[in-house]
A and B are shown apart, each in its own frame.
Chain A
Amino acid sequence: MNCTICGLPALDLRRLGAKLREGANLMVGQPDYDVYVAHRQTRHADQPIMTREEFFLERQASRFGEGGRRALRCC
């Protein structure tokens, strides 16, 4: 059900909470782990999948590490 004026979906608190959490994580460079797992399972089922911890450390290193310009922040 979408709002007739702004076209946004009506408020769903649980979904909002999940989105806020996902947004907060992505703000500091951590994409969604479940999405990653789902992607690996469907597209690269034969290859190993990082654990949640490995995934966290890999993303952290890539945000700031070698060649990493992802933490570039403006003024």
Chain B
Amino acid sequence: MPVSATPSPNRPVSLALWAAITSLGVFALFTLASARGESVNALWLVTAAVCVYLIGYRFYSRFIAERVLRLDASRRTPAHRRNDGLDYVPTDRYVLFGHHFAAIAGAGPLVGPVLAAQMGYLPATLWLLAGVVFAGAVQDLVVLFISTRRDGRSLGDLIKTEMGAVPGVIAMFGILTIMVILLAVLALVVVKALADSPWGAFTVIATLPIAVLMGVYGRYIRPGRIGELSAIGFVLLIVSIVLGRNVAETPALAALFTFKGETLAFMLIGYGFLSSMLPVWLLLAPRDYLATFLKIGTIVSLALGVLFVMPALQMPAVSRFVDGSGPVFSGSLFPFLFITIACGAVSGFHSLVASGTTPKMIADESQIRFIGYGAMLMESFVAIMALIAAGVLEPGVYFAMNSAPAVIGATPEQAAQTISSWGFAIAPEALTQIAAQVGEKTVLSRTGGAPTLAVGMAKILSNAIGGSAAMAFWYHFAILFEALFILTTIDAGTRVARFMIQDLLGTFAPALRRTRSWSVHLAATALAATGWGYFLYQGVIDPLGGINTLWPLFGIANQMLAAIALTLCTVVLFRMKREAFALVTLAPTLWLAVCTLTAGAEKLFHANPKIGFLAHAARFQEATGKGQILAPAKTMGEMQRVVFNDYVDAALSAVFIALVVSMLIYGAIAIRAALRAETVTTKEVGDELHDLRVARA
């Protein structure tokens, strides 16, 4: 029986309802787009987003589920066929939705939109909405479908069986590079948020003993009481935020917890290396509980805060920086807006989750639509919230926080003057005042998105609870919440990167794969930690703030992975002989390929040294030849290091381009073969009983 929603008993009512939702959505989008000069209430943004999601879910996802994939509720899923009560368990769809959402939503949808806000809120909104409906949610849905029909196998495995061994290895390599860049950029976000912030650094460091305490409690005192130990941890976290203020206000203690970016970078690399070797129950698991619950709680409270406070957007709809001259990230709207916002619109990383634990718990194929497509819409909504948090700040404050010192200077006076000259009038006092309100010495050049989001959230939440006196608390709460789950990602990610390195090396030397040898373990972990650590350190010493260089690389990597996953989806559609519907996945594949290839090529060859790595290297090399030293370098040795780093980044861009192009070629070969074949060639892992029934019928 094909899936179908229960036929509406009242067709005219349903029709009127959808007409109303459509007109409301159109009106909201029109209100957002036509704002010139006057500020728009954030509720219009929420309304537009919700209407688009409802329409996308009701019509497009249903079309994909029923016509393109033909989800079959009578087919037994891996959760039933391989039920073991552990990994493979038929699970209630709402419970599984929560699991899947918690696994896909991390720091990405919170950071990208904040950075993209430099072009105004409108371009970011339009890409978030169009991207999620036609690309992101489609990818999640189709990958989840493909994996569910193949015993919940992983993306790398799926590519290997459907496209061949070579594309399989290429994809594994792509996944590893995105992992490394992801960890580096997330660590950089933490460094930027905690540098010179004794309050923030204290509370984040306090999470270590708190997590260990929780871990011991959950292992020896009351094993398995997740609720209890999370409650204890949560209370201690709040206490540490409150105590953090005293630390910051006591000079001797403040000095102890004031760290430079470089120091923090080395602390994080050491932390990533050591913590990924510890037993998981001690630090990783308990902090994962805190991070997960805090994330869900914070997202819900932010949503409630926006609905309750109804803040106005201060950011213009479209800013002058669509031309690519903006201070937050360099490069014009196309392709860099579509690179900067990955998560929330389309995120390749989700293809790993959708081919991970979730497909093993799907109770009924028809639920794939709700979980795959629905959870991604939810993540997009989180990204909209982040955009709102950035948009409620005065643009002057936003640019002061997100521009590097090399651009706006190091004092509030210089910063206010520069930013006012861009057309975003701001007084130096306003900048010092906001710093005092959030309990920091300065908010200048706190790049990376997290602090901006934190100030925006503090502004919204303090309006709801506590008034301006509570702003500092909410700011540090938001910083802590982001740092907490980024640290969890670093810890878990370093482990995963180690497994990947061992797996990848294992394809060439099988002895390295499933070994318990400590030396292999140690070497692979060290390789993983130095891999992301290298890019982190490079980002920290970058005069343009690092985010400028690293975030586009991360965005390209993430979109590249999405292009790879969508290529697989397209190939599978052709092999299923559903080529009539191939555009559903082919169109987003091609769009992402165009974006990543253009961005990759611009990062390589653009003549502007702010965008092109080679142009930047050439500039420094030329200066070195003349014996000049350019900032940030202070010595000739540093000049050479800048050039070297540029070449590493350029090589990485080239690798991304090569990955995308080779996957497209392999995809085209597989599609040609599928078209020539007379029958369905896809390799589903069958439900034999079902096949028998179909054959008889």
Contacts and interface: CB of A to CB of B under 8 A. Distances in A.
Interface in A14-52: 19, 21-32, 35-40, 43, 52
Contact of A63 (B96, B98, B285, B493): B285
B356 A69 contact: yes
A72 B86 contact: no
A19 B96 CA distance: 10
A32 B475 CA distance: 36
Nearest to B280: A64
Contacts of B219: 57
A9 B181 CA distance: 44
Nearest to A65: B280
Chain B at the A interface: mostly helix, strand, loop or mixed?
Answer: helix
Contacts of B92: 19, 22
B272 to A, nearest CB: 14
Interface in B66-109: 83-87, 89, 91-92, 94-96, 98-99, 102-109
A72 B280 contact: no
B284 A40 contact: no
Given A4-B10, A39-B83, A71-B492, A56 B223 contact: yes
A74 interface: yes
Interface string B2-13: 000110011000
Contact of A26 (B10, B96, B288): B96
A75 B107 contact: yes
B59 to A, nearest CB: 16
A66 to B, nearest CB: 8
A52 B6 CA distance: 40
Contacts of B432: none
Contacts of A61: 280-281
A53 B104 CA distance: 28
A51 B179 CA distance: 36
B86 A31 contact: yes
Interface stretch (B258-266, B346-354, B618-626, B641-649): B346-354
Interface in B361-404: 361
B285 A69 contact: no
Contacts of B361: 31
Interface stretch (B289-297, B411-419, B583-591): B289-297
Interface residues of A, number: 45
B653 interface: no
Contacts of B83: 39, 43
Q: Which residue, of B84, B154, B280, B347, has the highest number of chain A Cβ atoms within 10 A?
A: B280
Nearest to B350: A74
Contacts of B525: none
A71 B353 contact: no
Contacts of A36: 85-86, 89
Interface in B176-235: 182, 186, 219, 223-224, 226-227
B152 to A, nearest CB: 11
Interface in B481-539: 485, 488-489, 492-493, 495-496, 499
B632 to A, nearest CB: 28
B566 interface: no
A64 B495 contact: yes
Contacts of B107: 75
Contacts of A21: 227
Given A24-B293, A39-B84, A70-B357, A75 B106 contact: yes
Contact of B224 (A5, A7, A23, A53): A53
A32 B91 CA distance: 9
Contact of B95 (A19, A38, A53, A67): A19
Contacts of A40: 85
B288 A28 contact: yes
B342 interface: yes
A19 B404 CA distance: 47
B445 interface: no
A38 B105 CA distance: 32
Nearest to B288: A28
Contacts of A30: 224, 226
B85 A73 contact: no
A58 B281 CA distance: 11
Contacts of A57: 219, 223-224, 281
B37 to A, nearest CB: 35
Contact of A73 (B103, B226, B281, B554): B103
A27 B224 CA distance: 14
A7 B292 contact: no
B240 interface: no
Q: Which of B83, B224, B296, B492 has the most C-beta atoms of chain A within 10 angstroms of its own C-beta?
A: B224
In the A-B complex, list the 10 residue pairs whose CB atoms are closest, starting with the nearest.
Answer: A75-B108, A56-B224, A36-B85, A39-B85, A23-B98, A64-B280, A27-B102, A74-B349, A53-B223, A71-B492
11 contacts: A23-B99, A24-B98, A27-B292, A28-B289, A31-B89, A31-B361, A32-B89, A55-B224, A60-B281, A74-B106, A75-B106
Given A22-B92, A67-B499, A69-B154, 7 more contacts: A25-B226, A53-B223, A64-B495, A69-B356, A70-B356, A71-B284, A75-B106
